[in-house]
A and B are shown apart, each in its own frame.
Chain A
Amino acid sequence: MRKEVIGPSQLFAMIVLFELGTALVVPIGLKSGHAVWLSILMALPGGVLLYLIYYDLYRQFPELIMSGYTQKILGKAIGWPLSLLYIPVLMFNGSRNLREAGDLLISSTYDRTPILVINAIMVIAVMYILNKGIEVFARTAEIYFWIIMIMGLVCNFIVIAAGLVDVKHLFPLQADDWWDALSSAYPSIWIFPFGELVCMTTVLPHFNKPRKAKRAGVMAVILSGLLLTFTHAIEISVLGENIYSRAAFPIYTTITLVNVANFIQRLDALVILTLIIGVFFKMSIYCYAATVITADLFKVQDYRKLVVPVGVIVLFSSFMSAENYTSHLNEGRAFLKYILPLLCAVIPILLFLVHHVRKRFGWYR
């Protein structure tokens, strides 16, 4: 079979869509209050640094996905179980994204449709695209990148044109605010959404121009960081700190306020569409990562065979893991605090250090 390849612009589009995915819609970094936009900016350099670590590991082992080089670096005895740890976490994270999309859809329009149906439809789409392969997925991402950008431009323009923005909500920034911003930037925003890029380590081996992976990836992380900053700043300036932190989906609340000349109103369809697209791509990458790591660890030749089982697990855990949205959020906080930092930051950094130490002292056989 022909090797599937991804070009720089496709990697760029995938990373941006992955980063914006849910982070655009749900409130992030709650501790910092009205300075959340500042915390995103503060977390951005950390995110870039994290990407560079993934990139460096990829350049050291250009043919291998994460689970492959973990076993090379730490040895099979430690590396294999450590890689195994990623599978449930990635699937769980994918299912959480799915849950968020399903809940927004139910709370906005589909109040009489069971969440199983809504999530199942999304999972079917994910399974379809993963069956087509990562190359097709990357090209689709490229098209949707432009769609998301145009929709974002239209939404932001209309929110500003409607005169809803009040810059007073963003300032003043006092010393406390800076401190709060920093404490919510690290590790919370640093991990979600930037640390989640750990999934990209499974996509990178398909990249066709290894030298350009650095530039494309870093640019994508920076662009998505800036877009997130801008969007969340707009949300706060429209809603104010109080409503922003209480709303389940602040961007949705923001957009429902728009009313231009009694004609342009109810743009929430655009927001829901953004969320559907974002969650679709984010979840697909999670599922893809989980699938290929499983295939790699258990020596399955064709990862496509595992797409359906992984999709079904993600589907069911999406609505069985939490009874309601509040408990879903609580789970998320714990998950973000204790589990994700380990897998997204600690292990990659550890791998990076161990690899370079072993390489420096020639401890590889």
Chain B
Amino acid sequence: MMATRTTKPKKSQTEDSNNQSSPLTENLDDNLQHIREGLGNSLDLIIRYFQTIDDAPRIAAVYMDGLTDKEIVNEFISHAMSFQTVNEEGQKLTTSLDIYKYMKEKALNPGKGKSVTTISELFEALLSGNTLILIEDMAEAICGNTSGGEVRPVSEASTQVSIRGSKESFTETIGVNISLVRRKIKNPNLWVEPMTLGAVTQTSMAIMYIHGIVNEDNLQNLREKLQEIRVDSILESGYIEQLIEEGGYSPFPTLYNTERPDSVAGNLLDGRIAIFVDGTPFVLIAPTTFFMFFHTVEDYYQRFDISTLIRLLRFLCLLISMFGPAIFVAALNFHQEMIPTPLLINLASQREGVPFPAFVEALMMEVTFEIIREAGIRLPSTIGQTVSIIGGLVLGQAAVQAGIVSPAMVIVVSLTGISSFTTPAFNMALSVRLLRFVIVFVAAFMGLYGIAILALILIAHLCSLRSLGVPYMSPIAPFALKAQKDTLIRSPIHFMKIRPRLNNDNSNVRKKVVKGKRVNTNES
């Protein structure tokens, strides 16, 4: 079955959609089998069987866990099953048709029980949180609205804040997290594969993807990698990230993590795969490219010109936070002639009383800055601000007045620090933080030449990385012209008719783009 999907994804899609618009059959088991297959045996699909009296037809209730409120579901089912106790004519209802009619007209309030006749209607109802009752020998199902569910208070995202866009973020419960994404993509092709990892912890995990959009090679690659994992415990998605990363000795993260359901939904629609781990609000996204770390979901919510400008600003900040202090140290140590003379005189007079070479000065300031930052993160937010005021203002000011560092160096280091905060992904900002020290060191040793050579090595290293087989630096290297619409810049949404190319994906055309609003479903 897998093989046919990989070779002919388009054909199998059409087959699927044919099946889904087909009517329900009279065979209960067939219907249930259809539902299971249509959802790819997803973890959160619940089917309950009822065999009432001896020769009565079998009845099944179907609903999605996490999308429904358990109490309402139970109430609904018990109402529907009341044909056993309440019987007007004193006779037991034994035929399917009688039971069906009774359920529909008497047991349930009018309007509460609707009938569903096709599989696609059934999926739509199911995924909106309805409970469906199927009866043997009936080609119709009764559907009742039971949406709700045990959603732990979903709080606002704390690490990936946005001005505009949904405020919800993932919680610690995998079922809730899956349902948060399902609420955004109401499509049966959104499949969830359950998995359990960790010999001791038995952590439940799930990989989520949109069947038909996802690249089957990547998916298979990920499955194999996950199955190869042999560890005692998975306590956070970071464990998985480190275990399946290719090129583990790279300073750069090769998997993206997010706590925003809209970010996961957007990435799934781009053909990527989400890895949910129970017990953490951070969901991994694979395959990842370098440029994903500098994109935010909000880029797509704001107007394109503004988003483009902000994106470019982020890349500028990346360069500043990586090379800022290094270039300053190199210019002061090796390339004084590069600085315009008045500025050079100014800088020299500032450094007159400073007893240290520029490199030591920069290193001291950088280390101090890192200490303040680390202290600020670990403390409660109220005290954290005090630390930053004492550290930032008092130390900075005092260090200059005491003649230990020059004011220009304080400016450079603080600009660098602030720039590094513009990177939306925290793990990427950490890597840049680490590399900054290496680059400053090289700059003190060899000046701009050293920086240029190190940059060459760094870019070569970035080009050598892969995430699930997808080159890390794509779509810049290897260059893909069509993908440039959404890499360094963000073009208007109605230009983005093609999904990003992850390996050689056949289904990379977004199905419909209507009046600037993307309708990404395969079905619809």
Contacts and interface: CB of A to CB of B under 8 A. Distances in A.
Interface of A: 7, 9-10, 105, 109-110, 113, 118, 121-122, 124-125, 128-129, 132-133, 136-137, 139-140, 142-144, 146, 262-263, 265-266, 268-269, 272-273, 276-277, 280
Given A121-B449, A143-B477, A269 B459 contact: no
Given A121-B453, A140-B460, A142-B478, 7 more contacts: A10-B478, A121-B446, A121-B450, A136-B463, A139-B478, A140-B459, A280-B453
B473 interface: yes
Nearest to B342: A262
Interface string B442-460: 0000111110110011011
Contacts of A136: 460, 463-464
Contacts of B449: 105, 109-110, 118, 121, 272, 276
Most chain B C-beta atoms within 10 Å of own C-beta, residue among A122, A125, A280 = A125
B501 to A, nearest CB: 12
Contacts of B338: 266, 268-269
A266 B453 contact: no
Interface in B452-507: 452-453, 456-457, 459-461, 463-464, 471, 473, 476-479
A141 B480 CA distance: 15
21 contacts: A7-B478, A10-B478, A109-B448, A110-B447, A113-B446, A124-B453, A125-B456, A129-B456, A139-B478, A140-B459, A140-B463, A142-B476, A142-B479, A143-B476, A146-B476, A266-B337, A266-B340, A268-B338, A269-B335, A272-B449, A276-B449
Nearest to B450: A121
B478 A9 contact: yes
Contact of A109 (B335, B461, B478): B335
B426 interface: no
A143 B457 contact: no
Closest 10 pairs (CB-CB, A-B): A139-B477, A139-B463, A142-B477, A136-B464, A129-B460, A132-B464, A140-B460, A9-B479, A136-B463, A266-B338
A122 B457 contact: no
Contacts of A263: 340
Contacts of A133: 464
Contacts of A266: 337-338, 340
Contacts of A280: 453, 456
A105 B453 CA distance: 13
Nearest to A259: B340
Interface residues of B, number: 25
A276 B451 CA distance: 11
Given A7-B478, A262-B340, A128 B460 contact: yes
Contacts of B460: 125, 128-129, 132, 136-137, 140
B477 A140 contact: yes
Contacts of B457: 125, 128-129
A125 B453 contact: yes
B492 to A, nearest CB: 24
B334 interface: yes
Given A128-B457, A143-B459, A272 B477 contact: no
A140 B457 CA distance: 9
A124 B442 CA distance: 14
Contact of A143 (B340, B447, B464, B473): B473
Interface in B215-262: none
Nearest to B341: A262
Interface string B325-364: 0000000001101101000000000000000000000000
A122 B457 CA distance: 10
Nearest to B478: A7
A139 B480 CA distance: 12
A136 B457 CA distance: 11
A272 B456 contact: no
A337 B258 CA distance: 62
Most chain A C-beta atoms within 10 Å of own C-beta, residue among B450, B452, B476 = B452
A312 B370 CA distance: 40
Contacts of A144: 456, 459
B448 A273 contact: yes
A277 B448 contact: no
Contacts of B463: 132, 136, 139-140, 143
Given A128-B460, A272-B448, A122 B453 contact: yes
Nearest to A10: B478
A137 B446 CA distance: 24
A7 to B, nearest CB: 5
A140 B452 CA distance: 14
Most chain B C-beta atoms within 10 Å of own C-beta, residue among A7, A105, A140, A280 = A140
A72 B203 CA distance: 60
Nearest to A265: B340
A122 B338 CA distance: 23
Nearest to B474: A139
B449 to A, nearest CB: 6
B448 A139 contact: no
A336 B450 CA distance: 31
Contacts of A105: 449
A143 B452 CA distance: 14
Contacts of B477: 10, 139-140, 142-143
A222 B479 CA distance: 21
A317 B460 CA distance: 26
Contacts of B476: 142-143, 146
A182 B334 CA distance: 43
A105 B337 CA distance: 14
Nearest to B479: A9
Contacts of A113: 446
Contacts of B459: 140, 143-144
A277 B477 CA distance: 17
Most chain B C-beta atoms within 10 Å of own C-beta, residue among A124, A137, A139 = A139
A21 to B, nearest CB: 14
Contacts of B479: 7, 9-10, 142
Nearest to B327: A269
B487 to A, nearest CB: 12
A292 B449 CA distance: 29
A124 B450 CA distance: 12
Contacts of A273: 448, 452
A121 B445 CA distance: 11
A139 B460 CA distance: 8
Contact of B447 (A109, A142, A146, A268): A109
B246 to A, nearest CB: 13
A266 B331 CA distance: 12
A298 B512 CA distance: 58
Most chain B C-beta atoms within 10 Å of own C-beta, residue among A7, A136, A263, A265 = A136
A313 B452 CA distance: 23
A78 to B, nearest CB: 38
Nearest to B334: A109
Contact of B473 (A9, A139, A262, A276): A139
Contacts of B471: 139
A136 to B, nearest CB: 4
A342 to B, nearest CB: 33
Contact of A140 (B335, B337, B447, B456): B456
A231 to B, nearest CB: 20
Contacts of B335: 109, 269
Contacts of A121: 446, 449-450, 453
A146 B464 CA distance: 18
A87 B461 CA distance: 28
B502 to A, nearest CB: 16
A9 B479 CA distance: 7
A281 B46 CA distance: 60
A277 B459 CA distance: 12
Contacts of B453: 121-122, 124-125, 276, 280
Nearest to B465: A136
B448 A269 contact: yes
Nearest to B451: A273
B150 to A, nearest CB: 47
